[in-house]
Chain A
Amino acid sequence: MVRAADSPVRGPAAKGSDPEIIGEEVAVLTHAPLVPPPIKRTHSTKVIVTLEVKEVVRRLSDGVEYLFWTFGGEVPGMFIRVREGDLVEFHLNNHPSSKMPHNIDLHAVTGPGGGAASSFTAPGHSSQFSFTALNPGLYVYHCATAPVGMHVGNGMYGLILVEPKSGFPPADKEYYVMQGEFYTTGRFGEEGQQYFDQNKALDERPTYVVFNGAVSSLVGDKAITAKVGERVRLFIGNGGPNLVSSFHVIGEIFDHVYPEGGTVATQQNVQTTVIPAGGSAIVDFKVEVPGTYVLVDHSLFRAFNKGALGMLKVTGPENLLAYSGKEVDAVYLGRQAEAGSAAEKEVASLQAQMKQAIQSDPKIVGLTKEIQIAKGKQIFMQTCFVCHQINGEGIPAQIPPLAKSDFLMQDLERSIRIVLQGRSGETVVNGKTFNGTMVPLNTLSDDEIANVLTYVRNSFGNSGDAVSLDRVRRIRSEAPAAPAAASFE
């Protein structure tokens, strides 16, 4: 029999009430954007959580200060991580310098008020209550002292994760991001000490909408980070007090979303997920391409005018296949030009110029070649490597090498034909004679052939031009040559 929140029985007695509770530990709490480590325990325990309420003046934006009411000295409040079934002994300390009494309503608590009445604490005092984390999920906690909107509006919110007994799938990085809005007497960016503006709050017209308690708290060297190939999980909360967030990461797609902080990833491949005020969501995604990804509330004036911006910086090797970067930058005159008109001629002339400019711009040509190499590598790794090996060395006496191959580099058109039509009979490569058969790979598209040949002709110690699509196309359209070995020599 487990006991609900606010039970007068607590401590060892409550522990004794549930035979599955083994041992006792002190919860590790973290400030955003950090998240306590996943729980490795496989049993329930008694977890002691101590949270200090403090009223502190901190930076809201550059040159802007605000008296935040906080759980743990910062906004958002410290991240609490427990396991489903744990008995949580909660201590709420209200710092002696506080002016206000405060309390805490944890949405993870099952019981009237979520702990608020039991944790109501005068400045310089401390309260204790216990609850069993009956339901797993990601929950908001907040102060519920009157006027509630003002206490929340001054920053009194945070997240508590009740990890399911089965845990979450592994992730390489986990971060804590919480949105909230602030209502200040001065306009956005007005310097100096700012005060809570009751009228703006009542009208739901925030001056600031921010992640993690301040403008730019997740920007520059404070950005969250990951490496290419890593899986990133975000625990996202929204303290409100008024707005619902349309959370989006520019340039990423959430592989999995646990909507509203529940424990089932009911959605995959999501661009923007809604985070209700007083609610949360869990998202994860694998980062494929290096660069900076911007976290926004996609209600965009909040992002670009009120502060709701953060950054995820991903480092690692480029992945031009996933994302090429800018390939062409050209004048575009629209499609309205009529055939034969002066405008159409101008378009044709400009297009010709553009083509020429692209061809003569080594940077773009280089980029095009790099993309072809990256794409060609994928083809090679699906098909060719089986015989020619990953390093292109082939197999002695059986499969001719591609690495540093005189035969390959001598004649591009011959290479294209071999891919299209196959080859059998004697082939001399680097002075060694091979006598085998290569099957035709004419199911590859012209594009794919151009790319894979560009890859092999620029890998394994080879160095050559990019193979153009036109050249492959032309050779495919030729009548198939007689499959005699002589035709190749």
Chain B
Amino acid sequence: MKISRVFKFLVSCFACLVAVVSSGSEIVPGMALIPAGRYTPLFRGARETNYVEVAAFLLDTVPVTNARYLEFVRANPKWRRSTVVRLFADEDYLKDWAADLEIGSTVAPDAPVTCVPWFAAKAFAAWAGRRLPFTAEWEYAAAASATRADGLNDPAFVAQIERWYTTPSAPTLASVAQSPPNIYGVYDLHGLVWEWVADFSTAMVTGDSRGDAGLDRSLFCAGGSENATDRNNFPAFMRYGLRSSLKANYTLHNLGFRCAKTIELTTPKCIP
């Protein structure tokens, strides 16, 4: 899509206007508008700016539930548990479900769907006319607390997030939207499940968090500390760590996803 510089400028003004006017309200059912802003990634190269611009976008207010995912597999037989291609989903794909088209009693229909690989999440999003959020978008939206967009500057909010990481996994996941939404009206970004992002594989953590000497630190920096913009943002370290431990066909019992949507006529600027 090719648009003129001037038009692009006008569009971003419009997006900002929308952001101001309709922040926190739904302009697509089930999705919240996340206004344009800046996101400071945990790791940046020496020659990169410390932040990335995030254009306004839409984000599902809740993670995709089992019930919603069932609709997807009904419509897409190749994503049923018994027919899925192993290359795209490991052996634990939808393992908590009773059968191909039956959620069963182990998990609740309105709990987040988990044990789904990145390939399936991506296919679901395309089927739903949406896409997966990028890391920058997800982290930017998740930085907001119930009362402020810069929630990460609030130690109480950070401590509350950290609490989930240091609490044992619940045997059965709770339903979505059981705790208060953040300032944009988005639920469950913290405290329920991990979520896939479109570019999870760019996390560039090597697995040895302290940085392999052989790697270029300015590029990779490896999850440790050398180049981290906020060394004390432990939850961010943990999310980067988890993302980098994944492969696209992996399924985890506490890893789900939600969808995003680009606002029409704008070009997402957040692609790294």
A interface residues (Cβ-Cβ under 8 A, vs B): 55-57, 67, 96-101, 103, 105, 112-113, 116-125, 144-148, 150, 154, 193, 195-196, 198, 202
Which chain A residues lie closer than 8 Å to B208 at the CB level? 103, 105, 112-113, 116-117, 120, 144
Kindly list the 3 A-B residue pairs having the minimum CB-CB distance in the complex, ordered from nearest.
A120-B207, A101-B245, A146-B209
Asked whether, in the complex, the Cβ of A202 is within 8 Å of the Cβ of B250, the reply is no
Q: Count how many pairs of residues, one from A and one from B, have CB atoms less than 8 Å apart in the complex.
A: 105
Asked whether, in the complex, the Cβ of A97 is within 8 Å of the Cβ of B253, the reply is yes
Distance between Cα atoms of A193 and B167 in the complex (Å): 9
Asked whether, in the complex, the Cβ of A55 is within 8 Å of the Cβ of B168, the reply is yes
Residue of A nearest to B211 (CB): A113
Asked whether, in the complex, the Cβ of A146 is within 8 Å of the Cβ of B253, the reply is no
A117 touching B168 in the complex, CB below 8 Å, given contacts A112-B212, A146-B223, A146-B224: no
Residue of A nearest to B92 (CB): A124
- The answer to whether the Cβ of B272 comes within 8 Å of any Cβ in the partner chain is no
Chain B nearest CB: distance from A389 CB in Å? 70
Asked whether, in the complex, the Cβ of A120 is within 8 Å of the Cβ of B245, the reply is yes
- The answer to whether the Cβ of B256 comes within 8 Å of any Cβ in the partner chain is no
- The answer to whether the Cβ of B213 comes within 8 Å of any Cβ in the partner chain is yes
- A125 in complex: contacting residue of B165, B205, B238, B250, CB < 8 Å: B250
Asked whether, in the complex, the Cβ of A122 is within 8 Å of the Cβ of B209, the reply is no
The interface residues of chain B, by DSSP majority, are classed as loop
Distance between Cα atoms of A120 and B212 in the complex (Å): 13
Chain B nearest CB: distance from A198 CB in Å? 6
A96 touching B92 in the complex, CB below 8 Å, given contacts A116-B209, A123-B253, A144-B209: yes
- The answer to whether the Cβ of B112 comes within 8 Å of any Cβ in the partner chain is no
Asked whether, in the complex, the Cβ of A112 is within 8 Å of the Cβ of B92, the reply is no
- The answer to whether the Cβ of B149 comes within 8 Å of any Cβ in the partner chain is no
Most buried by A among B207, B246, B247, B251: B207
Which chain A residues lie closer than 8 Å to B194 at the CB level? 99
A123 touching B252 in the complex, CB below 8 Å, given contacts A100-B165, A117-B208: yes
Asked whether, in the complex, the Cβ of A198 is within 8 Å of the Cβ of B165, the reply is no
Asked whether, in the complex, the Cβ of B232 is within 8 Å of the Cβ of A146, the reply is no
Which chain A residues lie closer than 8 Å to B232 at the CB level? 198, 202
Chain A nearest CB: distance from B207 CB in Å? 3
Which chain A residues lie closer than 8 Å to B26 at the CB level? none
Asked whether, in the complex, the Cβ of A113 is within 8 Å of the Cβ of B212, the reply is yes
Within 8 A of A (CB), among B161-178: 162-163, 165-169
Which chain B residues lie closer than 8 Å to A125 at the CB level? 245, 250
Asked whether, in the complex, the Cβ of B242 is within 8 Å of the Cβ of A97, the reply is no
- A55 in complex: contacting residue of B169, B206, B234, B241, CB < 8 Å: B169
- B163 in complex: contacting residue of A112, A147, A195, CB < 8 Å: A195
Which chain A residues lie closer than 8 Å to B241 at the CB level? 100-101, 145-146
- The answer to whether the Cβ of B214 comes within 8 Å of any Cβ in the partner chain is yes
Asked whether, in the complex, the Cβ of A112 is within 8 Å of the Cβ of B214, the reply is yes
Distance between Cα atoms of A56 and B209 in the complex (Å): 23
A-B contact pairs, 5 of them (CB 8 A): A113-B208, A113-B210, A124-B250, A125-B250, A148-B224
Distance between Cα atoms of A124 and B167 in the complex (Å): 17
Asked whether, in the complex, the Cβ of B245 is within 8 Å of the Cβ of A195, the reply is no
A97 touching B206 in the complex, CB below 8 Å, given contacts A198-B232, A198-B234, A202-B232: no
Distance between Cα atoms of A123 and B207 in the complex (Å): 14
A119 touching B207 in the complex, CB below 8 Å, given contacts A96-B253, A100-B238, A124-B253: yes
Distance between Cα atoms of A271 and B218 in the complex (Å): 47
Asked whether, in the complex, the Cβ of A121 is within 8 Å of the Cβ of B245, the reply is yes
B interface residues (Cβ-Cβ under 8 A, vs A): 92, 159, 162-163, 165-169, 194, 205-210, 212-214, 223-224, 232, 234, 237-238, 240-242, 244-247, 250-254
Q: Contacts A99-B165, A124-B252, A195-B163 given; 20 further ones with Cβ under 8 A?
A: A56-B168, A67-B167, A97-B168, A97-B169, A99-B254, A101-B242, A105-B208, A112-B213, A120-B208, A124-B250, A144-B208, A145-B223, A146-B238, A146-B241, A147-B209, A147-B234, A147-B237, A147-B238, A148-B209, A198-B162
Distance between Cα atoms of A154 and B167 in the complex (Å): 12
A116 touching B252 in the complex, CB below 8 Å, given contacts A56-B168, A98-B169, A100-B238: no
Asked whether, in the complex, the Cβ of B207 is within 8 Å of the Cβ of A103, the reply is yes
Most buried by B among A97, A145, A198: A145
Residue of B nearest to A102 (CB): B245
Chain A nearest CB: distance from B233 CB in Å? 9
Distance between Cα atoms of A122 and B237 in the complex (Å): 15
Residue of B nearest to A143 (CB): B209
Residue of A nearest to B214 (CB): A112
Asked whether, in the complex, the Cβ of A146 is within 8 Å of the Cβ of B254, the reply is no
Residue of B nearest to A196 (CB): B166
Distance between Cα atoms of A67 and B162 in the complex (Å): 13
Distance between Cα atoms of A99 and B213 in the complex (Å): 28
Chain B nearest CB: distance from A70 CB in Å? 12
Which chain B residues lie closer than 8 Å to A150 at the CB level? 234
Distance between Cα atoms of A56 and B205 in the complex (Å): 26
Most buried by A among B210, B213, B237, B244: B210
Asked whether, in the complex, the Cβ of A122 is within 8 Å of the Cβ of B246, the reply is yes
- A122 in complex: contacting residue of B159, B163, B166, B245, CB < 8 Å: B245
Which chain B residues lie closer than 8 Å to A103 at the CB level? 207-208
Asked whether, in the complex, the Cβ of B240 is within 8 Å of the Cβ of A146, the reply is yes
Which chain A residues lie closer than 8 Å to B242 at the CB level? 100-101, 122
Distance between Cα atoms of A119 and B212 in the complex (Å): 14
Chain A nearest CB: distance from B114 CB in Å? 11
Asked whether, in the complex, the Cβ of B205 is within 8 Å of the Cβ of A146, the reply is yes
Which chain A residues lie closer than 8 Å to B162 at the CB level? 195-196, 198
Which chain B residues lie closer than 8 Å to A118 at the CB level? 207
Distance between Cα atoms of A362 and B242 in the complex (Å): 73
Distance between Cα atoms of A186 and B208 in the complex (Å): 31
Distance between Cα atoms of A105 and B169 in the complex (Å): 25
Asked whether, in the complex, the Cβ of A117 is within 8 Å of the Cβ of B207, the reply is yes
